[in-house]
């Protein structure tokens, strides 16, 4: 095991392995796990891998271009770092490190409502705009105030999550006490043992990475002392009654780009366009909500064909390689989101590890472009895929 930790990571699996060794078990399982039997989690990755690329030769591959335009911004790579709740717990002020790496790579970072670092801290990394992800809270006054804070700190693209009216059943979290119990913070004995087995994380994040609350909503959670308090508050504040009417309200108060995250149905995709959203994220919440749901690779072409280019499409779930990025573009996506890859890379080695992962992702994509004859990301179409 020690030898594997000394190897230079070359793939997502390598970063994941290093993260597993460095994170407490409850935190690794929270990030890595999915709902119930994790069938959808596995299918997300497997269905991308099953799409075969067509190899074409003797095309001029001397000037390949991985860049795309998304909401008026040029991205060096068709990737957005997805919002991940508690992502900042995997490394000291993890979202700040991720924002720096994203800026350097020329791609956006999207901060979660329940991220560890607040809007103000993450936005302060640079003048490059970030995205913000919103969960609808029962107190609309708090929602409006959070949106204003985001706007004041340069956020112009809002990703509103719509696939969390109820929390998916996640067996790993239940076993670790993260769901339906006090959690590791309330299980002193087992928690201390887990921390002792992971001293690097315990010192770097547990001691030096404070505060550990959900930074953006910290001011609204009275007498909060630890993540358990925040989890209780968010559990009571998430609004399960949200409907399309609430999207109309949100469209009225948010002046920037509005993207609905969690679309996995053609009828819902059409309604997303009708409601006035600027785009959608085709997502099953990383396989963490409804186990047995379709993979995003399976639903993307259906939605893309049904909409006929009338909306901006972003896809997440199972994207691991640059070849996957080309597959996503071929099926109709304008860009992809990655969640677990950036969080586990940060856990494996901080900003430097994430920078390395993004570099590998770009190199993988260049290889796929050069050997499919597409050359430029904007030229990718269904023709780069072998007909099924």
Could you give all domains of the chain from N- to C-terminal order, each with its CATH number? 2-376 (3.20.20.70)
Phi, psi of 223 (to 5 degrees): 55, 35
> pLDDT at position 190, please?
53
Dist CA 93 CA 8 (whole Å): 24
Tell me, what's the pLDDT at 1? 45
User: What pLDDT is attached to residue 140?
Assistant: 94
Residue 54, classed as helix, strand or coil, is coil
Q: pTM for this structure?
A: 0.94
Tell the residue number behind the tokens 């390598």, with chain if given: 14
The contacts of residue 72 (CB under 8 Å, 6+ apart) are none
212 assigned to active site: no
- With 0-12 / 13-18 / 19 or more C-beta atoms within 10 angstroms meaning exposed / middle / buried, residue 252 is exposed
Lookup result for tokens 């099924």 = 388
Where the chain has pLDDT below 50, the residues are 1-3, 180-189
Longest dimension (CA), the chain: 66
d(CA 68, CA 207): 40
Q: Across the strands, what pairs with 337? A: 80, 316
DSSP string for residues in 240-278:
TT--HHHHHHHHHH--SEEEEEEE-SHHHHHHHHHTT-S
Helix (H) or strand (E) holding 227: helix 227-237
Residue appearing with tokens 């700040």: 96
Closest CA to 354 of 41, 84, 74, 150: 84
Collapsed DSSP state (helix, strand, coil) of residue 165: coil
Residue 193 CB neighbour total at 10 angstroms: 12
Judged by DSSP in three states, 296 sits in helix
Supply the pLDDT for residue 178.
Answer: 76
d(CA 295, CA 287): 8
In contact, 229 and 129? CB cutoff 8 Å:
no
**Given this model, what pLDDT does residue 229 score?**
67
Can you tell me which residue has the tokens 């609204």? 220
- Active-site residue, from 153, 198, 212, 285: 285
């Amino acid at each position: 095991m020690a030898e594997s930790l000394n190897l230079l990571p070359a793939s997502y699996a390598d970063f994941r392995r290093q993260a597993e060794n460095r994170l407490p078990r409850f935190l690794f399982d929270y990030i890595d796990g999915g709902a119930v039997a994790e069938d959808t989690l596995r299918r997300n990755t497997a269905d991308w891998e099953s799409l075969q690329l067509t190899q074409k030769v003797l095309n001029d591959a001397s000037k390949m271009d991985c860049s795309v335009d998304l909401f008026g911004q040029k991205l060096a790579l068709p990737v957005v770092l997805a919002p991940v709740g508690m992502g900042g717990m995997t490394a000291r002020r993890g979202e700040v490190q991720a924002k720096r790496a994203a800026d350097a790579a020329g791609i956006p970072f999207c901060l979660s409502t329940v991220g560890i670092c607040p809007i103000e801290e993450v936005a302060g990394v640079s003048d490059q705009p970030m995205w913000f992800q919103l969960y609808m809270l029962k107190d609309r006054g708090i929602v409006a105030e959070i949106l204003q804070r985001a706007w004041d700190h340069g956020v112009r693209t809002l990703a509103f999550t719509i696939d969390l009216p109820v929390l998916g059943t996640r067996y790993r979290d239940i076993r670790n006490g993260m769901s339906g119990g006090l959690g590791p913070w309330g299980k002193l004995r087992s928690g201390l043992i887990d921390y002792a087995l992971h001293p690097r994380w315990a010192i770097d994040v547990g001691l030096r990475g404070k505060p550990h609350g959900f930074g953006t909503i910290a001011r609204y959670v009275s007498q909060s002392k630890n993540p358990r308090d925040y989890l209780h508050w968010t559990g009571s504040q998430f609004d399960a009654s949200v409907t399309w009417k609430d999207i109309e309200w949100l469209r009225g108060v948010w002046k920037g780009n509005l993207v609905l995250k969690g679309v996995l149905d053609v009828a819902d995709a059409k309604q997303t366009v009708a409601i006035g959203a600027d785009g959608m994220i085709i997502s099953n919440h990383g396989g963490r909500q409804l186990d047995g749901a379709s993979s995003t690779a399976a639903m993307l072409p259906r939605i893309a064909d049904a909409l006929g280019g009338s909306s901006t499409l972003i896809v997440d779930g199972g994207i691991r390689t640059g070849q996957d990025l080309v597959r996503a573009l071929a099926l109709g996506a304008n860009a992809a989101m990655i969640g677990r890859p950036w969080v586990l890379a940060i856990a494996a080695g901080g900003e430097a590890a994430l920078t390395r992962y993004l570099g590998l992702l770009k190199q993988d994509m260049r290889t796929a472009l050069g050997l499919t004859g597409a050359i430029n990301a904007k030229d990718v179409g269904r023709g780069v895929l072998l007909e099924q």
